[in-house]
Amino acid sequence: MKITNNISLTGYNGVLTETVFGTEPMEIVVPENSEFTAHILHISGPITLRVILNGEYAKCDIKIAYLSNKNNHNNIKVEVIHQYKNTASSQVIKGILTDTSKMVFDGIIRIPFDSQKCDGHQNHRAILLSDTASVQATPELEIYADDVKCSHGSAVGALDENHLFYLLSRGIPMDEAKKILLKSYVMEILPETWEQYVDEWMDENV
Amino acid sequence: MAFLEIKNLCAKVGEKQILKDFSLTINEGEIHAIMGPNGSGKSTLSNVIAGHPAYEVTAGSITFKGQDLLAMRADERANSGVFLAFQYPTELPGVGTALFLKTAINAKRKFLGLPDLDAVQFMKRLKTRATALGVTDEMLKRPVNVGFSGGEKKKMETFQMAFLEPDFCILDEMDSGLDIDALRVVANGVNVMHEPHRAFLLITHYQRLLDYIVPDFVHIMVDGKIVQSGDKTLALQLEEKGYENYK
């Protein structure tokens, strides 16, 4: 998909309001001085998203929350190509996994030789609610330019025991405390109106 | 029957034994202060009473209002009236303070067999307590403890305590990180709650806090147990001589 202006895509469970975000790989070409923003709540199916920052001062801001349950095995691949200098990208990916679900996450940032003064950041975090759920995260930075700012990070773990205890110590029962913490963790990167989808998932799976 | 009775309590974290045969009895209306050097087990004691899962009780008992406190989950202890004001209150990004308190108060009411507070009752209760402690609307709109200074966090702990109206309040190093003005606000928040049906346990390093909240009893804790008890003059002696004599 080629875009001509600033565009914001929001999608729940693979369906974006601006366009259909199916299981087919999707390519977004962002022209100069434009910004691509995406909020994605992923529950099932693969996502392959390729963003090409195709002009100076092109930007992208990608936020993906994934909720995996049962025996679902999914993969999310996000590739950002800084085709021009002075481009910037940010990816924040947050997941919650339960049961025997598995997520394979590949996050790629490519910055060719001539693309100086680029900013590329990627952060992936996942919370495992069961011992049998798993995440395989592979961040990949392919950077040929020498004057860029880049970072990536990935952390996988359980809910923070001290956070949980703080809620318990105020009389909030364990199940409710978990839901409050997990919901705030994903809602931090999603539009407020999607709260209902997250609630539904929490009620069934937490 | 004592209000809170801790008998021969032993507790450990991991393999490290921290509380060693600790005993203490607190009656309704009393204010007790526990003072002691770093590492004596003061914070462990407060976490064990509140039910932190990282601490394992290996011997002894805690009875609160006639009930076996150790048999209760942390949330049940809170709803029975135990409140811990934390030394380092946890930040909860994304969890709004008002929603957090509404969930907490209604959990307590459910536990006590009372109906939920409706929006109007809740807001009234929230505003009354907030005004008394100088907690602004803006502070209530923020996520729990996020972006607060050390002093503001302690003020919010006191505010939560006033809001939830517990019967037994543990204040773990309430004075650390507070300037004199903030200390006065926090101490005043405690003093207005000092009623005959409620008791307090203050945990502190310094005598300074006890100028503002006057204890009935002062205990010195060293290496996991109380080594001396007395009245408020004990704190003054301690300030002069330090903990050296107790080691």
- Summarised one tens digit per residue, pLDDT across range B42-82 is 999 999 999 999 999 999 999 999 999 999 999 999 999 99
Domain membership of residue B178 as a residue range:
4-246
Residue A202 within a domain: no
Q: Identify the residue whose tokens are 């929350």.
A: A65
Backbone angles phi, psi at B73, to 5 degrees: -70, 165
ipTM of the complex: 0.95
Average pLDDT, chain B: 93
- pLDDT at residue A17 above 50? no
Amino acid (one-letter) located at A111: I
Looking at the structure of chain B, the number of domains it has is 1
A181–B108 CB contact, under 8 Å: no
The reported pLDDT for the residue numbered A47 is 83
Q: Is residue A167 in some structural domain?
A: no
On whether residue A195 sits in a domain, the answer given is no
Backbone angles phi, psi at B79, to 5 degrees: -70, -20
Q: In angstroms, what CA-CA distances link B6 with A34, A85, A192, B48?
A: 66, 67, 47, 11
Residues of B with CB under 8 A from a CB of A: 50-54, 73-75, 78-79, 83-84, 86, 89-90, 92-95, 100, 103-104, 107-108, 111, 143-144, 160, 164
pLDDT at A158: 94
Pairing, β B4-13 against β B16-26 = antiparallel
The confidence band for A21, taking pLDDT boundaries of 50, 70 and 90, is low
CA within 13 Å, CB half, A117: 6
Q: What is the count of structural domains for chain A?
A: 1
Which pLDDT band, with edges at 50, 70 and 90, does A13 fall under?
A: very low
Instruction: Check if A165 contacts B (Cβ < 8 Å).
Output: yes
Q: What is the mean pLDDT of residues A154-167?
A: 94
Instruction: Determine contact: A92 vs chain B, CB below 8 A.
Output: no
**A91 is written with which tokens?**
């990816």
DSSP secondary structure, B151-191, as one string? HHHHHHHHHHHHHH--SEEEEESTTTT--HHHHHHHHHHHH
Three-state SS letters, B58-97:
EEEEEEECCEEHHHCCHHHHHHHCEEEECCCCCCCCCCEH
* Inter-CA distances, A99 with A69, A76, A127, A131, A184, Å: 6, 19, 12, 8, 21
Tens digit of each residue's pLDDT (9 = 90 or more) over A34-89: 888 888 888 877 888 899 999 999 999 999 999 999 998 989 999 999 999 999 99
Pairing of strands B31-35, A26-30: unpaired
Whether residue A53 lies inside any domain: the answer is yes
Range of the domain at A139: 7-159
**A4 — pLDDT class (breaks 50, 70, 90):** very low
Q: Which of A2-16, A105-119, A139-153 shows the lowest mean pLDDT across its residues?
A: A2-16
Nearest-CA distance A2 → chain B (Å):
35
Provide the chain A residues 166-205 that lie in CB contact (below 8 A) with chain B.
Answer: 166-174, 176-177, 180-181, 183-185, 187-188
Query: Which residues of chain B have a pLDDT value below 50?
Result: none
pLDDT of residue A3: 42
Test B92 with A163 for CB contact under 8 angstroms: yes
Cα B231 to Cα B246: distance, rounded to the nearest angstrom: 17
Secondary structure class of A176 (helix, strand, coil): helix
The CATH number that applies at residue B161 is 3.40.50.300
Containing H/E element for A68? strand A59-68
- What is the nearest CA distance from B183 to chain A, expressed in angstroms? 23
Where do the H-state alpha helices sit in A41-146? none
User: What mean pLDDT comes out for the span A105-133?
Assistant: 96
CB contact under 8 A, A172 and B107: yes
